[in-house]
Homo-oligomer: A and B are copies of this chain.
Amino acid sequence: MTAKSTAPESAIAYAPATVANVAAGFDIMGFAVRAPGDEVTARLAGPPGVRIASIDGDGGALPREAQKNTAGVAALGLLSHVGSPAGVEIELRKRMPLGSGLGSSAASAAAAAVAVNELLGRPLNREALLPFCMEAERTACGAAHADNAAPALLGGFVLIRSCHPLDIVRIPVPEELACAVVHPHIEIRTEDARMILRNKITMKEAITQWGNTAGLIAGLTTGDYDLIGRSLNDVVIEPVRAILIPGFHRVKEAAAGAGALGCSISGSGPSIFALARGVESARKAGGAMSDVYREMGVECDLYVSEINRDGTVLE
């Protein structure tokens, strides 16, 4: 055992779902919600390396080999980085739907990274775990994105100003900001959601978009809820991806009608998020949004919470 004597024999971590993009912030922004989320137990056991002992809640869909599973990849990356010969067993409890646009792969990676880091006596600080989670994202979706992994790990509202070099900025969030997420039981493959995007956009669209990106950050940092609402406006990605989500425009109207600040697609969808001032307002918006799917005969889950400032937590 190389873990320091203060390190536990096992550690359990919970990582939350995250909303990436946040309307105008395609590929550069994300925030964490309270639930759903993934739970990982990491245990010192067996020969050097990482084994996935069990996965629960994925309906058998996720790979059991550590190097193909995001929890395993994050754990392996961390062990390798600190040069630990420890043997680690991972139990993964998926408590969130796969392919929902809620950062499922990032949540598994973040929970594993935090649990294993604890197991090793916490050799790295929280931010230093991000590269291993991003590497895990590459396994899951082909690119080392941080827009789910960073908020899942760190909590709150995170700006990824740059990926190369990595520049992560934690954005202050106004006290009452809350979120409703509706997950309709519709399948969209992340690859399809990326493939449908254009390679070029007009300068006019780009200017509109970065005006809204700037407005969103200004609204968040100065606590201007109206400005946040006016800035939740995506002219580049949403118009294209909305095609893949039946009922999207009705859901968006329902959110606005119920007083949400704004509403857009969570990540690559099909989940749809709304931001609101206060949890009660978010609950009302979420109710109106899920009513649309109920009327359409589409099953859906609803999650309402304040912005989750904690990120991944040890249990």
Contacts and interface: CB of A to CB of B under 8 A. Distances in A.
Contact of A213 (B27, B169, B200, B210): B210
A208 B203 CA distance: 14
A206 B209 contact: yes
Contact of A159 (B160, B201, B211): B211
Nearest to A208: B162
Count this chain's copies in the assembly. Answer: 2
Given A197-B203, A206-B201, A214 B159 contact: yes
Interface in A158-208: 159-162, 167, 169, 171-172, 197-203, 206-208
Nearest to A224: B169
A304 B209 CA distance: 32
A103 interface: no
A231 interface: yes
Interface string A219-240: 0011010010011000010000
Contacts of A171: 218
B167 A214 contact: no
B198 A230 contact: no
Given A201-B200, A201-B201, A201-B206, A214 B28 contact: yes
Contacts of A207: 26-28
B218 A169 contact: yes
A215 interface: yes
A203 B198 contact: yes
A11 interface: no
A212 interface: yes
A24 interface: yes
Contact of A217 (B24, B28, B198, B221): B221
A44 interface: no
A25 interface: yes
Given A161-B215, A221-B222, A222-B221, A25 B199 contact: no
A154 interface: no
B25 A161 contact: no
Given A161-B215, A162-B208, A213-B214, A203 B201 contact: yes
Given A24-B210, A210-B213, 13 more contacts: A26-B210, A159-B211, A161-B211, A161-B227, A161-B231, A162-B215, A169-B218, A200-B200, A201-B203, A210-B210, A210-B214, A213-B214, A214-B214
